């Protein structure tokens, strides 16, 4: 089994308050969870209105399936007009 755990930093362009940020982040997390079957949480920058760090984890039988899914997740976030992706970091674990 191949596991990837990572985090991505994003900027929420339209957030003018924490309430605006939560609306965008909650929506994005639900879409990622349902579309890609990953575990995801808001893991950092909780006090900043326009910044967010999302932590995620996913597992698969092989490495290529996880890396393909990671690429699709990155593209999905890039295409969301409400946010700008700063970067994704990841760690791999093979069990």
3 has pLDDT over 90: yes
C-alpha distances out from residue 74 to 6, 17, 37, 48, Å? 12, 25, 14, 22
- For residue 34, the model assigns a pLDDT of 96
pLDDT at 80: 94
The CATH class of 2-94 is alpha beta
Spatial contact of 59 and 3, defined as CB atoms under 8 Å apart: yes
Q: Can you give the pLDDT at residue 95? A: 77
**Whole-number Å distance between alpha carbons of 52 and 92:** 22
The predicted-structure confidence for 21-75, as pLDDT tens digits, reads as follows 999 999 999 999 999 999 999 998 888 889 999 999 999 988 899 999 999 999 9
What gap in Å lies between CA 53 and CA 46, rounded to an integer? 8
As beta bridge partners, residue 51 has 11
The structural domains of the chain, with segments of one domain joined by +, span 2-94
The whole-number pLDDT of residue 77 equals 95
């Amino acid at each position: 089994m191949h596991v990837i755990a990572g985090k991505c930093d994003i900027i929420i362009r339209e957030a003018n308050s924490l309430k605006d940020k939560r609306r965008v982040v909650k929506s994005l997390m639900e879409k990622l969870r349902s579309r890609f079957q990953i575990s995801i949480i808001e893991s950092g920058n909780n006090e900043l209105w326009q910044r967010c760090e999302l932590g995620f984890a996913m597992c698969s039988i092989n490495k290529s399936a996880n890396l393909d899914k990671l690429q699709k997740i990155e593209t999905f976030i890039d295409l969301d007009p409400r946010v700008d992706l700063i970067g994704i970091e990841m760690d791999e674990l093979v069990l």
